[in-house]
Amino acid sequence: MFGGMFAGVGRAGLLGPAVAVLAMAGGLVVFGPAGGSADAAAACAGRPVKTVGFSAGELRLYKGNGYACAVTVAKSAGARRQMSVTIQARGGAPAGDSGVYTQRAGPITVYSGNRCVRATGAISGSSAQTGWVC
């Protein structure tokens, strides 16, 4: 019936791998991404190197494995409002995310190698900058 690589394997032989795949997929649904501030931290890989608070939220900068990542996070989720985040490695072009969000702008990741990076974040006209972080 199956021929080729499944020759000699009955339905019971195929059932085990199929059940394993379904169990793993179910685990992804049950253990999906966390909510709240842990979600913002999980958005960027690397270690946190600088956090700058401002009236409407925080600008968070992470570095690791030659990359830098920035995210702007609102103090509280609420109505949709203008939010942005930009990040730039020294000597490179800035990259950013801007839009109307409820919780965060970003994450934005750039290759930084061993260079210094800087980031800027804003929420509804209130903003913060990290300055150059090496």
Per-residue pLDDT tens over the stretch 24-38: 333 333 333 333 444
In 3D space, the residue among 43, 70, 54 whose CA is nearest the CA of residue 133 turns out to be: 70
Is residue 12 predicted with pLDDT exceeding 90?
no
Q: How many CB atoms lie within 10 A of CB 108?
A: 22
Q: E-strand spans in the chain?
A: 47-54, 57-64, 67-74, 81-89, 95-101, 104-111, 117-123, 126-129
Q: Using the Cα atoms of residue 51, residue 83, residue 57 and residue 104 in order, give the sign of their dihedral.
A: negative
Q: What is the reported pTM?
A: 0.70
Is residue 118 predicted with pLDDT exceeding 80?
yes
pLDDT in tens, 64-117: 999 999 999 999 988 999 999 999 999 999 999 999 999 999 999 999 999 999
Q: What angle do CA 72, 134, 113 make, to 5 degrees?
A: 90
